[in-house]
Amino acid sequence: MKQTRSILFILFLFCTTIAWAQEVTSGLVLESISRQPVMGAAIVIDSSKNVVAITDMNGRFQAKNIQGKTIRISYIGFKPLVVKAQNNNTYYLVEDTNALAEVVVTAQESKGLSAASTIGKQAIEHLQPSSFSDLLELLPGGRSVDPSLNAPNNIRLREATPTNSANYATSSLGTSFVIDGAPVFANANKEYLSGAWEAKVTQRDFTNQGVDMRALSTDDIEKVEIVRGIPSVEYGDLTSGLVKIERRRGGHNLNARFKADMSSKLFYLSKGIEFGKGWTLNLSADYLDANRDPRNTLERYSRITFSARTSALWKRNTYTIKWINNADYGGSFDDEKLDPDLNQGKLDTYKSRYNRLAFNSSLDVSFKQNAWLKFIGATFSTSYQHDVVSRLRLVQLSRMMPALTTTEAGEHTVDILPYTYYGQHDVEGRPFNLFARVKAKLQVPSARISNTLLLGTDFSLDKNYGDGQRFNPLAPLYTGTSVRPRRFSVIPAMNTLAFYAEERLLLPIGRYRLELNGGIRMNQMLNLPTHYAMHGHWYVDPRVKIGWTFPQFRIGKWATHIRLQGGVGQHTKFPTMDYIYPEPRYLDIVQLSYYHPVEAFRTINVRTYVLDVVNKNISPARNLKWEVGTDVTFAGNHLSVTLFREDMQSGFRTNTVYQSFRFKQFDTSGINANSLVAPPDVQTLPYAMVQELFGSTTYSNGSRTLKRGLEYNFSTRRFSSLHTRLTINGAWFRTLYHNSQVVAYRPTAVLDGKQIQYVGLYRDNDGLRTEMANTNFIFDTDIPKLRLGFSVSAQCLWFTSSQRLPLSNEPDKYISPDGALHDWKAEDANDTYLRFLVRDHTPKEYIKYNVPFSMNLNLKVTKKLLNDHLNIAMFCNRLLDYTPNYTQNGIIIRRSVRPYFGLEINIKL
Amino acid sequence: MKKKILMSISMLLAMCFAFVSCSEDKNDVPETKTSVVINLETPINIGENTLTDGVVLLVNKWGCTYTYTIKEFEKTEKGYKAVVKDIPVGTYGVIAQGKLKYQSGGKEITTDVKATNDNVQLVEDMNKNSISLLLHVFTGKEGFVISEVFFRGTKTPQGKQYIADQYIKIANNTNEILYADGLVIMQSVFINGNKHNYLKDYRNEGFAADAVYMIPGDGDDVPVKPGASLLLALNAKNHKTVNPNSFDLSKADFEFYDVSTNNYKDEQNPGVRDLERIFCSSASILVLNMQGNKAYAIGKIQGTKKAFLKHNYYEAQYHNEINGKLITQKAYFLPSSWIIDAVNIDMQDNPHDWNILPISMDKGYTYCIANTKDATGVGKAVVRKMQNGKYVDTNNSTEDFTPKATPTVK
């Protein structure tokens, strides 16, 4: 870290020593379509081939003695511009890939140094998505999947076939969503019904899994950049990726969209207003209604969003101020119930209500002057959620169950639950987030080197004001589980503070060009109790990316650019509120459960232990990524290839820990049931003290996710005769999931009236290696004359495979009921009781399963009518498919897929 | 007493042979004579032993006159050997029985043994005439039968499934008082319709149990009168207080009480004795297989409980047909000789092409439901038929039981 600092300092010194001339000509270089500044364009005097200037981050350049001379402005991916230089002129560069038509319906590889996909508005419109999840099809390795809107959708970047296990969810938790500069935080999400075991509840739990993409509407999106590789140090609290969403601003249009597909309907309405000088206001609303099965109206998902966005731009001679404000509401609702008419009139419902209010404001000031300070920006965002998950069901017990009401450790004679009652269990969360960021961009004026130093700091606060688990302990929904209501609001707020600095350099070396982005981010979690290992600890994320561009050369008549790039970076994601402050676990051991035909004489006595399951040693999940790649542009065709490796060894997971507990076992054999006048009194009953092992779950850093792979994207220029462009993208991924921790297991078998009293500790545990390779061939045709666009994509999945890693059968050690640890000896495998500790995994389980080739053919069509006011679009996924049967283990596996289609109408007034 | 039964059985058998054959034309006795070696093998789980009062009867099948009795035996490696000379060639039925004295659990045990084979061909070439019979240890409690299994549970008035009222009934099917002490009640680990290629396939050799419960007692604590039955309830309470559609099982003779330390505590009903839980593959409270595709058996463990737990452990293993994974079901195995009665329960629509019980225990099956989607069998039981005041026991549940019957407990 010290080294990085000193390097930065030296760079500074180096930059400041460059002489500064008086006679200057300045200019501005912008992209012709987007009017975005082009940073790093080289200004060459055409006669001498010498680079005289490089544009800065605002697209500006200054050079001496060029007034009136012919200059050549070039930047990779753009057609070089040869013009006469004039002071204060603006030059527009035209992209050479999109020279013919600007319609891009696929994701494009970003021009930056890290692997990232940019998805523009046209691509989104052509895709016809219902929620953000649908966009992931466009990433390398992506494939069209039917929307599954009845359960949360998590993002899993660069994974072959992601496991569903919550123990490997750090990958989605560690993917940060940033909307208009404000990150979406899910750190204080604790919306799970504690003790729930029903699939309809547990499948909809996305605590510790990051953002639910169902709740993100796509219609306001102007552009998304999904950074699969190493993001800038400006972005923190992430391990796996970054999703940067930019929403539309300005315009005067009234837009409406109506979409229907096989499982959902979507309505969208928006209006853009521009007024005054540089003021814009955009209002939009969206409603999505989805049924998993359209015939079943009892299970549905709906989403409502409202958005109001303003921006103001003040241009002055020396500076520009941009001020944007967003106010958003997002509602995401799941409902599932049983029809009372088919359920003997009983109610049986599941409801989730996620309501999110968010506001963000950012003020950016850009300076035009040749000062060091080029930009200063501040962002403030806040969000407040009111989330309730609620489950109601009739509970019918067949035996005596304790009502676990006591929250203190000790022995308690407790109430007995009735046999039949309605059980309702809610969890109410009110996550609140506050985020503030200040950043500045500095630049040493130079004609030789384009350089930017980004300095910034951000702070975020997460707090949950919710009531937490809400249920009546005398009528609990999940009986037999030791859950107690606790308010989330007693959990302290989590604060994180970060500082970062990043230098971006563009250095022409001869006719080569070196790009260097190097930065460092320091994160600390504040407000932590001192006994936590993370307390006061700075976690440092250095991230460096280097690019090397070869001079343009020609093959025949075609201009060719080649750039090689690579990078390495560390990423840190702090544990969530649930990981740091888990709910206290209760252990309720029934010491006496006396049943008597007379209800008044029944009694249950419970020994309650309150277990501290806080893992003080929990640390952030850290992901080390490296990647190398190349970008090649040849005759307007573009190829990019990235080879990567990401190793996250400290992903979060649950772990079961066994301890020995002592309790009484009351002996009721002496009671004469017929002569009782009152329930048996534990004070007078004889008992035996017993010791037994009980397990409790804690959170730890034991999940390793190792991702390796190759991503590629090739897009041709549009062949003018056919109006068609071919895009080939795909990936090869190999992912390893592995539990690096010792696993404890107690066999469930009962011998001679007692459950096996021992717990085995095993070294080699769950490990899974998955692999896949795919290629999508997309032919997209745009016929401007007919206002017709259509695309055919052949999505080839070459194979997927999965293989489990060997597990140890015999434990290394075992725990006896007194809590003592014993070494496992070979002869223990023959002991009447200990032999149950031997797990029965066999090599057959570790063979590799391959699913061979399959291909889907998807069709998408858009047609503009009525002077472009009306746009009709339809899609059909898997219109044709090739999914042959295959043989596995001597068994023929038959595969079949079904088409999925939808239709939409867009109105633009 | 035991001997009497034995004798009567063998007499009956002999009479049967005689009767059947006598009704036919009396053919000439074949002239050709041969000799035969009879090997009596003792069960593998019995160590050093001596056979006393051994007798082998050969009854020919073409006439009613020839019965050969051998009483002299020679000790061999696997058991005992006897040679019969000058016997006419032809088809014979063989019955061997006797008393076996051996050590088990540190004690000397004398038990009756028996073996039969009712179709043996004796040919002229005496080298080909070798009969091997495996001596079965039999317990002398053969008079108990499983008379009813109620596994489907009932429905609550709110329409929810209620399963705590499952029960099993076993009955004394003899004319004498029998003692049920030490009788074990078991559920099979094998599942009907779940056909697998077990590595050690013991389906034809005995009963593999995933739950073994024992009636406590020292030998004369649990007398059962002739024709009377024992009601073994999963939970012996008056279920009507919980579910009006259920029964009062508070007068049950025994209950399956499962000691546990978690919150799902079983109810121990005062006044109803608990069965001893010898083995259960799961620590949770026992529920009889609701689908109705397992078998139930009663039997008697030979030797001590400790020795049983040590030596009769059985890992029922098979390779999953789809992914090849080795599936291990942890179970305990009881040889056929220990089994007194068994009933095979299956779903009606299953193919019934894979027997989970030896044919000698149960040739057929009985049922409450047709398939997994059939909801009609709730509240129904399988009940053994009665004929002339006795339970029908032909070791064929298809014939012996009334499927989908109304439970006898009201």
Nearest by Cα to A299 from A203, A405, A420: A203
Contact flag B309-A482 (C-beta cutoff 8 Å): no
**How many other CB atoms sit within 10 Å of the CB of residue B21?**
18
Answer whether A751 touches B (CB < 8 Å): yes
Stretch A194-202: mean pLDDT, rounded? 90
**How many other CB atoms sit within 10 Å of the CB of residue A861?**
17
* Helices of type H across A640-729: none
* Token pair for B131: 């009969």
Q: What is the per-residue pLDDT for A508?
A: 83
Mean of the per-residue pLDDT values for chain B?
81
Answer whether A750 touches B (CB < 8 Å): yes
The position carrying tokens 């007068």 is: B251
Residue B30 CA to residue B28 CA, distance in Å, equals 6
Contact flag B238-A755 (C-beta cutoff 8 Å): no
- Give the length of chain A: 909
Q: List pLDDT tens digits, range A561-602.
A: 899 999 999 999 999 999 999 988 999 998 988 888 888 999
Stretch B210-220: mean pLDDT, rounded? 88
Please identify among residues 878-897 of chain A the ones whose CB lies closer than 8 Å to any CB of chain B. 888-889, 891
Q: Give the HSE-up count for residue A477: Cα atoms under 13 Å, Cβ half-sphere.
A: 23
Q: What is the per-residue pLDDT for A446?
A: 74
* Helices of type H across B192-304: none
Residue B38 CA to residue B116 CA, distance in Å, equals 12
Among A444-448, A627-631, B145-149, B228-232, the minimum mean pLDDT is found in: A444-448
Sorting pLDDT into bands at 50, 70 and 90, what band is A192? very high
Contact flag B324-A596 (C-beta cutoff 8 Å): no
Instruction: For strands A767-783 and A750-751, give the pairing.
Output: unpaired
Res B16 pLDDT > 60: no
Answer whether A596 touches B (CB < 8 Å): yes
- Give the length of chain B: 410
Residue A503 CA to residue A235 CA, distance in Å, equals 15
Taking a C-beta distance cutoff of 8 angstroms, is the pair B5, B139 a contact? no
Res A1 pLDDT > 60: no
Segment of A8-22, A698-712, A886-900, B5-19 carrying the highest mean pLDDT: A698-712
Sorting pLDDT into bands at 50, 70 and 90, what band is B29? low
Sorting pLDDT into bands at 50, 70 and 90, what band is B6? low
Phi, psi of B289 (to 5 degrees): -55, 110
Percentage above 70 pLDDT, chain A = 96
Residue A85 CA to residue A65 CA, distance in Å, equals 10
Sorting pLDDT into bands at 50, 70 and 90, what band is B12? low
Stretch A539-562: mean pLDDT, rounded? 89
**Smallest Cβ distance to B270: which of A673, A841, A891?**
A673
Please identify among residues 810-849 of chain A the ones whose CB lies closer than 8 Å to any CB of chain B. 832, 835-836, 840-842, 844-845, 847, 849
Interface test with A, best of B199, B305, B325 (most A CBs within 10 A): B325
Contact flag B323-A597 (C-beta cutoff 8 Å): no
Q: What is the per-residue pLDDT for A224?
A: 95
Q: What is the per-residue pLDDT for B206?
A: 84
Phi, psi of A654 (to 5 degrees): -95, 155
Taking a C-beta distance cutoff of 8 angstroms, is the pair A763, A754 a contact? no
* Helices of type H across A219-277: none
Rounded to 5°, angle at Cα A757 from A754 and A762: 140
Q: What is the per-residue pLDDT for A547?
A: 94
Answer whether B304 touches A (CB < 8 Å): no
**How many other CB atoms sit within 10 Å of the CB of residue A594?**
22
Percentage above 90 pLDDT, chain A = 63
Q: What is the per-residue pLDDT for B43?
A: 60
Sorting pLDDT into bands at 50, 70 and 90, what band is B106? very low
Strand partners, A129: none
Chain A neighbors of B281, CB-CB under 8 A:
748-750
Instruction: For strands B401-405 and B154-155, give the pairing.
Output: unpaired
Question: Which strand (E) or helix (H) includes residue A14?
Answer: helix A2-16
Sorting pLDDT into bands at 50, 70 and 90, what band is B142? low
Mean of the per-residue pLDDT values for chain A?
89
Beta strands in B128-263 (DSSP E): 130-134, 136-138, 144-150, 154-155, 161-162, 167-172, 178-179, 183-188, 206-214, 223-224, 229-233, 254-255
Q: What is the per-residue pLDDT for A625?
A: 96
Phi, psi of B400 (to 5 degrees): -80, -25
Answer whether B389 touches A (CB < 8 Å): no
Residue B81 CA to residue B347 CA, distance in Å, equals 45
* Token pair for A748: 């469930």
Answer whether B250 touches A (CB < 8 Å): yes
Q: Give the HSE-up count for residue B135: Cα atoms under 13 Å, Cβ half-sphere.
A: 31
Chain B neighbors of A404, CB-CB under 8 A:
263
**Smallest Cβ distance to B263: which of A482, A832, A845?**
A482
Q: What is the per-residue pLDDT for B105?
A: 41
Nearest by Cα to A209 from A171, A243, A247: A171
**Smallest Cβ distance to A399: which of B267, B276, B328?**
B267
Contact flag B269-A752 (C-beta cutoff 8 Å): no
Instruction: For strands A558-573 and B67-70, give the pairing.
Output: unpaired
Nearest by Cα to A573 from A285, A173, A901, A204: A173
Residues in CB range of A192: below 8 A, 6 or more apart: A202, A205, A207, A389, A427
A–B CB contacts, 8 A cutoff, strictly below: 147
Asked casually if ipTM beats, i.e. exceeds, 0.85, the reply is no
* Token pair for A763: 């070294």
* Token pair for A136: 């992931």
Contact flag B261-A663 (C-beta cutoff 8 Å): yes
Q: List pLDDT tens digits, range B45-98.
A: 566 777 878 888 887 766 555 677 777 788 887 778 888 888 888 888 888 888
The gap from C-alpha A337 to its chain's centroid, in whole angstroms, comes to 29
* Token pair for A151: 């359960």
Q: List pLDDT tens digits, range A262-291.
A: 999 999 999 999 988 889 999 999 999 999
> Has domain B20-26+34-138 been given CATH number 2.60.40?
yes
Chain A neighbors of B238, CB-CB under 8 A:
597
Residue A287 CA to residue A476 CA, distance in Å, equals 35
* Token pair for B159: 């329409």
Q: List pLDDT tens digits, range B328-381.
A: 888 999 888 788 899 999 998 888 888 888 877 888 899 999 888 888 888 999
Answer whether B279 touches A (CB < 8 Å): yes
Q: List pLDDT tens digits, range A75-107.
A: 877 778 888 888 878 888 887 655 444 678 888
Strand partners, A179: A182, A245
Q: Which residue of A has its CA nearest to B154?
A: A398
Residues in CB range of A620: below 8 A, 6 or more apart: A523, A534, A539, A572, A573, A574, A575, A650
Contact flag B263-A481 (C-beta cutoff 8 Å): yes
Answer whether B159 touches A (CB < 8 Å): yes
Chain B neighbors of A838, CB-CB under 8 A:
none
Nearest by Cα to A329 from A291, A365, A355, A303: A355
All structural domains of chain A with their residue ranges: 2-93, 108-908
Torsion of Cα atoms, A478 then A480 then A482 then A488, to 10°: 0
Please identify among residues 395-424 of chain A the ones whose CB lies closer than 8 Å to any CB of chain B. 396-402, 404, 419-420
Q: What is the per-residue pLDDT for A97?
A: 56
Interface test with A, best of B160, B199, B263 (most A CBs within 10 A): B263
CATH second-level architecture of A2-93? Answer: Sandwich (2.60)
Sorting pLDDT into bands at 50, 70 and 90, what band is A19? very low
Residue B44 CA to residue B335 CA, distance in Å, equals 10
Answer whether B34 touches A (CB < 8 Å): no
Q: Which residue of B has its CA nearest to A607?
A: B261
Q: List pLDDT tens digits, range A739-798.
A: 989 999 999 888 888 889 999 999 888 899 999 999 999 999 988 888 899 999 999 999
All structural domains of chain B with their residue ranges: 20-26+34-138, 144-405
Nearest by Cα to A391 from A508, A469, A482, A301: A469
Sorting pLDDT into bands at 50, 70 and 90, what band is B7? low
> How far is the CA of A167 from the CAs of A173, A631, A845, in angstroms?
11, 36, 21
**Smallest Cβ distance to B158: which of A420, A589, A749?**
A420
Q: List pLDDT tens digits, range A294-327.
A: 888 899 999 999 999 999 999 888 889 999 999 9
Answer whether A710 touches B (CB < 8 Å): no
Q: What is the per-residue pLDDT for B19?
A: 45
End-to-end CA distance of chain B: 36
Q: List pLDDT tens digits, range A32-50.
A: 777 778 877 888 887 777 7
Question: Hey, what CATH topology would domain A108-908 get?
Answer: Maltoporin; Chain A (2.40.170)
Res A642 pLDDT > 70: yes
Interface test with A, best of B199, B241, B255, B262 (most A CBs within 10 A): B262
Residue A71 CA to residue A41 CA, distance in Å, equals 12
Taking the CA atoms of B367, B372, B373 and B379 in sequence, report the sign of the dihedral they define. positive
Taking the CA atoms of B19, B23, B27 and B28 in sequence, report the sign of the dihedral they define. positive
Please identify among residues 94-123 of chain A the ones whose CB lies closer than 8 Å to any CB of chain B. none
Q: What is the per-residue pLDDT for A101?
A: 45
The position carrying tokens 């194979």 is: A799
